[in-house]
Structure 1
């Protein structure tokens, strides 16, 4: 289980470390930084897939994603004016990291030198580290990358593993489990993370149209393979999906109609003479079916992140959604980003309390202070421990 996620220098996240529980609910007002934290988690997952450079480039480059305020807001909180983009002499960088109780990973991305290349907007990977335990320290670092050089610790001595260009990650280039188990384990964990950021349910939504179906053990992010994913889950005799549908729609059953290799979902509701196909379902009903298929798929990820799953759902479906998410969190670590008080109530998370053991269901409440995202209840001594180290 991921115990800590840390972000520094990304949008409104100047420097924050957030604890994660088995079920973590992230909430806060509009503009508090929920979306920035969600995107930071996606960037971490992209590190495992070797796509973090491309993802940042598609956001407009590193310069548009960086924290835009000063390196410290101490003077501003005493009443002094905020002085634009001053960094206090520190290197400009975006840093991401995560850790379990056994090992962790961090990456430091910086602005490239301008060489006249067509790729001068691409950020550079300046530093990476794999470390044992939940906090990076010199003594716990087992594999490190500085600029172009990747090194592995052998006792008290560092030996060079190889070289890398600044646009390639050591997670994708040196993750042979026979030689670098920690690298391989972290890459596999990051690649298994699954993100769902709402689903289309309009009249032209892919989930409404019959689709060619093959065995689908994981629902796609856009839900186009809904029918195939449902058929795979039903064939595997997983009862979580039928139970969730019956709970949400008062004894209804879900099935998949197959004709000439084309699959489409059908919902049989009590009192109806025939099942309703996906094209006939209401937007909210179809959206719930998509969430149910995502949360009950055959392959369970190590971490699932849901962004505002309550969107477009009628209030009567929120209790069933909450029960479904809680059931999923029994075997998959789940992060829910939401501002729905009703969903939070049905997920029943416990607010963070300093010096108290983390509960299985944890509430993280974000707010803004002079443009910086803060976590309610965190202080200098109560925030999770995290060390970034330096590029030296």
Structure 2
């Protein structure tokens, strides 16, 4: 289970280190930085998939995502005694991401590229340094693997450091290019764990949404991020997952209702039988909120639970009456997976707040910087370039 997440230099997240629980609720007013926090966790997962730089490019490039305020914000600036203004920088311009669980920690530092007139990829950020360490906090004595520039060194079984790569490209992470059973088994284990994190963000429910159309069906223990394989995912839960919990979750939100999965020539289609109707409704006939709730049910009741599940504003398009049922569904899922929920829906926030052990992070902004109320940040140290 992740116990710490750290981010620096990303949008309104100038320097944030947060504790994570089995169930963590991130809330706050519009514009407080909730979406930025969600995207920063997703960016960290992109490192393990080898796509952090393309992900940043889709956001407009590193320059567009960097913290836009001064390097340091003084108390006098906060009080309004002096204007907000920059000063001579003491550190390099960087976007940093990292996390720690009970066993290992990882951090990456991305910086501005060196100007090169010979390349058309002058906007791509450079990976300046990375580190993997044992335990919750980086120290000189517990570093297992470290990347500085183009070189990667690892700790050998004999306790000495050995360079295993000396020419790693600035756009390649050691997470994808130095993880192997011989030199760095821990890095390989960590990478596979990060690759299994799941993110669900604003399922499509419009008339042309993939979830509204029949789809080729195969066993689907994990719902796709766009929800196109909803019928297969539901049928998989019924066959090899907790079908009783699935039926109870649907009945909790829509009393007397049930789901039917039909198959014709390999195409699977989901329909919903509702109390009082003479025929079941196809997904093309369901309301946006009903379809979105069913997508969340399929995601949260996966027969193959993820070590980390992150939901961004799952209440979108749901009627307030459905939010208590959604809260109970999320609470049950947190017994199988670590769950982070980003939400500003009062009803859902209230429901999740009742869950024993739920960690609540309430975000607000001070001079454009995201802060968290009543939080003592965990210990954290970034690797040095």
TM-score of the aligned structures, taking structure 2 as reference length:
0.95
Are residues 23 and 366 of structure 1, via their aligned partners in 2, closer, same or farther at CA, if it must alter by over 3 Å?
same
How many Å separate the matches in 1 of 2:260 and 2:330? 22
How many Å separate the matches in 2 of 1:270 and 1:249? 9
Consecutive aligned runs of 4 or more in structure 1 exceeding 4 Å deviation: none
Give the Å deviation of 1:389.
3.5
Any residues of structure 2 matched to 1:323-338 within 5 Å, and which? 323-338=328-343
How many Å separate the matches in 2 of 1:310 and 1:175? 38
How many Å separate the matches in 1 of 2:50 and 2:279? 47
Any residues of structure 2 matched to 1:1-392 within 5 Å, and which? 1-74=1-74, 75-78=76-79, 79-84=81-86, 86=87, 88-116=89-117, 117-154=119-156, 157-163=160-166, 164-239=168-243, 240-348=245-353, 360-378=357-375, 382-391=376-385
Give the Å deviation of 1:147.
0.5
Are residues 87 and 312 of structure 1, via their aligned partners in 2, closer, same or farther at CA, if it must alter by over 3 Å?
farther
How many Å separate the matches in 2 of 1:349 and 1:36? 26
How many Å separate the matches in 2 of 1:346 and 1:166? 45
How many Å separate the matches in 2 of 1:54 and 1:203? 30
How many Å separate the matches in 2 of 1:46 and 1:291? 22
Give the Å deviation of 1:317.
0.6
SS at match of 2:249: helix
How many Å separate the matches in 1 of 2:49 and 2:183? 19
How many Å separate the matches in 2 of 1:276 and 1:177? 51
Contact 1:57/1:123 (<8 A) preserved? no
SS at match of 1:50: coil
Q: In the TM superposition, what whole-angstrom CA distance separates every residue of 1:341-387 from its partner, at most 9, and x where no partner exists? A: 1001111258xxxxxxxx73110001101111011013xxx211111
How many Å separate the matches in 1 of 2:189 and 2:199? 20
SS at match of 2:329: helix
How many Å separate the matches in 2 of 1:315 and 1:205? 23
Q: In the TM superposition, what whole-angstrom CA distance separates every residue of 1:52-107 from its partner, at most 9, and x where no partner exists? A: 011111111111110111111014225221125x4623100000000001110000
Are residues 166 and 342 of structure 1, via their aligned partners in 2, closer, same or farther at CA, if it must alter by over 3 Å?
same
Query: Please, which runs of 5 or more residues in structure 2 have no aligned partner?
Result: none
Give the Å deviation of 1:309.
0.5
TM-score of the aligned structures, taking structure 1 as reference length:
0.94
How many Å separate the matches in 1 of 2:64 and 2:83? 23
Contact 1:349/1:363 (<8 A) preserved? no
How many Å separate the matches in 1 of 2:121 and 2:321? 50
How many Å separate the matches in 2 of 1:252 and 1:347? 25
Give the Å deviation of 1:202.
1.6
SS at match of 1:3: strand
Partner of 1:355: none
Partner of 1:356: none
Contact 2:25/2:343 (<8 A) preserved? yes
